[in-house]
Amino acid sequence: MSNMSNKVALVTGASSGIGRATALAFAANGAKVVVAARREEELAALVAEIESQGGAATLVKTDVSASKDVERMVAHAIGTYGRLDYAVNNAGIEGQWAGITDLPEDEWDRVLDVNLKGAFLCMKYEARAMLECKHGGAIVNIGSVNSFLGFPTGSAYVTSKHGLIGLTTSVSAELAPQGIRVNLVCPGFVDTPMHHRARKIVGDELYDEALIPNVHLQRAGRPEEIACSIIFLCSDEASYITGTTLTPDGGYALTI
């Protein structure tokens, strides 16, 4: 894997799960890391862990659905480290699961604001910073197998993840001439707090007997495995990859 020393990575939704694992992976590859999320205490623990391993990290409390927060987040990265090379837009929520006749309008808005508008706002300010730095860069958005597979009662979440395909491919085409690559990673079942919450909703029996058997590898993924895909797409080894969707899902989407 490419040496990421002297490079700067920004990871949203870094307080747990895939975002946390990705921040640790960037640091392990030599990058300075800016971690962002709404939960400041968890971010502080992550920064301390990275620093204890000899890495460099800084935190910024951020609500990605708020433009001013996102602008401040990117400004913090530039103000602290002087550049931005990699950005991983991982922040997301599952929202309320409800049928279309029962889903409150404000809940629809909340999910789309974080998952889709949040990615738009992040790319808006990240791209500005990368263009000003004139070093090129790589942006990875985090979708889901639900970027192309729907499920009952998940209309807001599924719509937000579907939207990331169009957003990613459009911005990829726009930024490619400036040397900025934009890709989408769509994980399947991953052992994260969000998926544990989903498991409680669907029930252990359905999860273990109906869902996991459809995964070719017969298990949920680990956050560190998804982080490897993200790091690859940011690395020089992926220099000819942009506008694409990588699906580390253990083969789940192939069975549906």
CATH, residue 144: 3.40.50.720
- Listed in sequence order, the residues at least 6 apart from 76 whose beta carbon sits closer than 8 Å to its beta carbon are 34, 58, 60
| pLDDT value at 202 more than 70 | no
Q: What is the pTM of this model?
A: 0.95
pLDDT band at 67 (very low <50, low <70, confident <90, very high): very high
Average pLDDT over residues 99-128: 97
157 a catalytic residue: yes
Which residue in the block uniquely carries the two structure tokens 């910024």?
60
pLDDT reported for residue 194: 78
C-alpha pair distances (Å), 161 with each of 59, 142, 150, 177, 197: 26, 9, 10, 26, 18
Edge-to-edge strand order for the sheet containing 137-142?
Answer: 57-61, 32-37, 8-12, 86-89, 137-142, 180-185, 245-246
Instruction: Evaluate whether residue 196 is within a structural domain.
Output: no
The number of distinct structural domains making up the chain is 1
Average pLDDT over residues 77-83: 98
Instruction: Evaluate whether residue 105 is within a structural domain.
Output: yes
pLDDT reported for residue 214: 87
pLDDT reported for residue 152: 87
Instruction: Evaluate whether residue 214 is within a structural domain.
Output: no
pLDDT band at 193 (very low <50, low <70, confident <90, very high): confident
Instruction: Evaluate whether residue 203 is within a structural domain.
Output: no
Instruction: Evaluate whether residue 198 is within a structural domain.
Output: no
Instruction: Evaluate whether residue 137 is within a structural domain.
Output: yes
Instruction: Evaluate whether residue 246 is within a structural domain.
Output: yes
Candidate list 81, 157, 207, 252, residue with the active-site label: 157
Strand 180-185 and strand 57-61: the pairing is: unpaired
Token duo for residue 54: 């000899």
| pLDDT value at 197 more than 80 | no
